[in-house]
Amino acid sequence: MIDSHLLTAIKVAMQRKGISQRELAVLIGKNETVISRWFAGKVGISSSSVKLLEKALGEKLAQEPTGTKTALITGITGQDGSYLSEFLLEKGYTVHGIIRRSSVDYRERIAHLEGRKNFHLHYADLGDSMSIVKVIAQTRPDEIYNLAAQSHVQVSFDSPEFTADIDAVGVLRILEAVRACGLTHTCRIYQASTSELYGKVEEVPQNENTPFHPYSPYAVAKLYGFWIVKEYREAYNMFCCSGILFNHESERRGETFVTRKITLAAARIAQGRQDKLYLGNMSSLRDWGYAKDYVECMWLILQNKKPEDFVIATGVQHSVREFAYHAFKHIGLELEFRGEGINEEGVCVKDTRKGRHETSLVGKTLIAVSPDFYRPTDVVNLWGDPTKAKAKLGWDPSKTSFEKLVSIMVEHDMAKVAAEGAAAKVRTNLAEYLEKGIVK
Ligand code: GDD
């Protein structure tokens, strides 16, 4: 049985002592791969190994978390906010989240947490300083995770000013609110930064020392967020850091980001609810990880002994085309890509879908390109180097492989589309919108 509390205790103790995975292996007289397997959750840790670890790290391990910490999460209704909430509640935190007033329900991802004793929601907005000050003064958090943002790169070209207000000045509002509430030296702040900072990349793969070259209004706003966090760290000695996260996806990903757009469309096409998927630049390269794994890293960054910025990525790169190929293949639809640029098509060459289907899709074009999804400037070569996070935080970037991530998302969406039955008409409208490019 793998004890997640024990693993966490080991990682935290390693950070406190500044011991890397390799150094730990030497200290306890084991091969480094043994430790990697522990951290990957592949094998349990025997009691004799726990004794060796306690001796090497000089402290008692395997204790249950104390449960006395308070965290405040902005962007709690998003993919990352929901996973992080689950993660922190599991650790015994009291979790407060900031939500915005809306006449439509957008709390689906956290609905299962509402009503829990240690889970609280507050109305506030990153565009409204007073509301931020009030929530921070009331909750007096030990840790703040600033995940709220206008996070869609293409949308930032349509709403650049709003993007700047929330993604740039919003970060400043949080930092100032923490100071105004007298929490400068007690509250640790995590800023959700992004690989989009590397933009028109100046080196491949990208690490913490790679120069930034933002390439969208979103990235320019996020660059301000990154630098203002660094400035407050240096000017006021605050424990605030940025996680430079590469793309991270999941079955909770927003439906207009490319991975989820693909897995939903693949499921709808396989179940006869959509004819074709339109995409933009299929040659774009990304380093895609599983969001659930990445929230652990956000927390580890704040448990580190000193405030530092970290690249969080898998170190593995794929194209949008490859993601689509694997997603359709997982369902039994094999694609062949023909043509180039705007004329490229993904044609079905093999149909081995399970169950009865009236017509085979062989020979049909299931993916086409639409210029609607091209961006004025596009970031096309993101590939992260997670060496620092691996060594200093003991984080395992290979926990969920690319193939596993695709299968998790596709299987979830196959079940979702199958269950849509009664609401088919409404959902078909959304599918049509996606197909025609009305929704980006
Ligand atoms: N959304 C979308 N829709 N993207 C497409 C499409 C399409 O139909 N076709 C091709 N792409 C390409 C985009 O041009 C881009 O190069 C790539 O797919 C990934 O696009 P997104 O999934 O929208 O994500 P992103 O990389 O722009 O931004 C995401 O990751 C960042 C971290 O690197 C967002 O989550 C950002 O908030 C985050 O900072």
Ligand 1 centre to CA of 196 (Å) is 10
For range 86-115, the mean pLDDT? 94
HSE-CB at 292 with a 13 A cutoff on CA atoms is: 11
| Proportion of the chain above pLDDT 70, given as a percent | 92
Predicted confidence at residue 37, as pLDDT, reads 85
Among the listed residues 305, 346, 319, 306, the one whose alpha carbon sits nearest the alpha carbon of residue 402: 319
Ligand 1 centre to CA of 153 (Å) is 7
Among the listed residues 143, 133, 144, 146, the one whose alpha carbon sits nearest the alpha carbon of residue 69: 143
The mean of the pLDDT values for the chain is 93
Indicate if the pLDDT at residue 22 is higher than 80: yes
| Proportion of the chain above pLDDT 90, given as a percent | 78
Predicted confidence at residue 249, as pLDDT, reads 98
For residues 424 and 72, which has the higher predicted lDDT (pLDDT)? 72
Least confident of 29-38, 156-165, 267-276: 29-38
Residue nearest to atom 37 of ligand 1 (CA): 151
Q: Tell me: the pLDDT tens digits for 42-51?
A: 777 888 888 8
Indicate if the pLDDT at residue 316 is higher than 70: yes
Q: Tell me: the pLDDT tens digits for 326-347?
A: 999 999 999 999 999 999 999 9
DSSP codes joined into one string, 56-98: HHTS---PPP----EEEEETTTSHHHHHHHHHHHHTT-EEEEE
Element (H, E) at 283: none
For residues 378 and 44, which has the higher predicted lDDT (pLDDT)? 378
* Angle, alpha carbons 309-88-388 (nearest 5°): 25
Indicate if the pLDDT at residue 437 is higher than 60: no
Predicted confidence at residue 429, as pLDDT, reads 53
Residue 3 CB contacts under 8 Å (≥ 6 apart), including other chains: 44, 45, 62
**CA of 320, closest atom in ligand 1:** 18
Distance CA 279, CA 319 (A): 13
pLDDT bin (cut points 50, 70, 90) of residue 314 is very high
Ligand 1 centre to CA of 164 (Å) is 18
User: What are the angstrom distances between the C-alpha of 356 and each of 49, 268, 271, 272, 328?
Assistant: 53, 15, 10, 12, 17
**CA of 149, closest atom in ligand 1:** 37
Q: Tell me: the pLDDT tens digits for 155-187?
A: 999 999 999 999 999 999 999 999 999 999 999
Ligand 1 centre to CA of 257 (Å) is 6
Least confident of 57-61, 136-140, 281-285, 432-436: 432-436
Residues in the chain: 440
Residue 224 CB contacts under 8 Å (≥ 6 apart), including other chains: 164, 167, 168, 169, 171
For range 6-12, the mean pLDDT? 83
Q: Tell me: the pLDDT tens digits for 77-93?
A: 999 999 999 999 999 99
Residue nearest to atom 4 of ligand 1 (CA): 258
Distance CA 178, CA 426 (A): 44
Least confident of 66-75, 242-251, 393-402: 66-75
The position carrying tokens 């993916």 is 367
Indicate if the pLDDT at residue 67 is higher than 70: no
Predicted confidence at residue 200, as pLDDT, reads 98
Specify the pairing of strand 119-123 against strand 94-99: parallel
Ligand 1 centre to CA of 321 (Å) is 13
Ligand 1 centre to CA of 273 (Å) is 24
Q: Which of 150, 154, 159, 257 to mutate to test the pocket of ligand 1 (most atoms within 8 A of CB)?
A: 257
Residue nearest to atom 23 of ligand 1 (CA): 257
Amino acid occupying residue 176: E
For residues 224 and 44, which has the higher predicted lDDT (pLDDT)? 224
The neighbour count for residue 265, using CB atoms within 10 Å, is 28
Predicted confidence at residue 73, as pLDDT, reads 98
Indicate if the pLDDT at residue 130 is higher than 50: yes
Indicate if the pLDDT at residue 2 is higher than 70: no
Distance CA 412, CA 264 (A): 9
Residue nearest to atom 28 of ligand 1 (CA): 153
Distance CA 215, CA 197 (A): 8
Please answer whether residues 332 and 241 qualify as being in contact, where contact means their C-beta atoms are separated by less than 8 angstroms: no
Distance CA 39, CA 12 (A): 12
Q: Which of 79, 83, 153, 287 to mutate to test the pocket of ligand 1 (most atoms within 8 A of CB)?
A: 153
Residues classed as catalytic: 194, 196, 218
**CA of 282, closest atom in ligand 1:** 10
Please answer whether residues 277 and 435 qualify as being in contact, where contact means their C-beta atoms are separated by less than 8 angstroms: yes
Distance CA 265, CA 431 (A): 8
Pair of tokens at residue 79:
């993919």
The position carrying tokens 């700047």 is 164
pLDDT bin (cut points 50, 70, 90) of residue 15 is confident
Residue nearest to atom 36 of ligand 1 (CA): 151
Predicted confidence at residue 78, as pLDDT, reads 98
Q: Tell me: the pLDDT tens digits for 420-434?
A: 864 664 444 555 666
pLDDT bin (cut points 50, 70, 90) of residue 64 is very low
pLDDT bin (cut points 50, 70, 90) of residue 356 is low
Ligand 1 centre to CA of 265 (Å) is 16
Q: Tell me: the pLDDT tens digits for 110-129?
A: 999 998 989 999 999 999 99
Among the listed residues 258, 263, 260, 266, the one whose alpha carbon sits nearest the alpha carbon of residue 361: 266
Residue nearest to atom 39 of ligand 1 (CA): 194
Residue nearest to atom 19 of ligand 1 (CA): 258
Residues lining ligand 1, Cβ inside 6 A: 151, 153-154, 194-196, 246-247, 256-258, 261, 279-281, 284, 286, 320, 373, 375, 378-380, 382
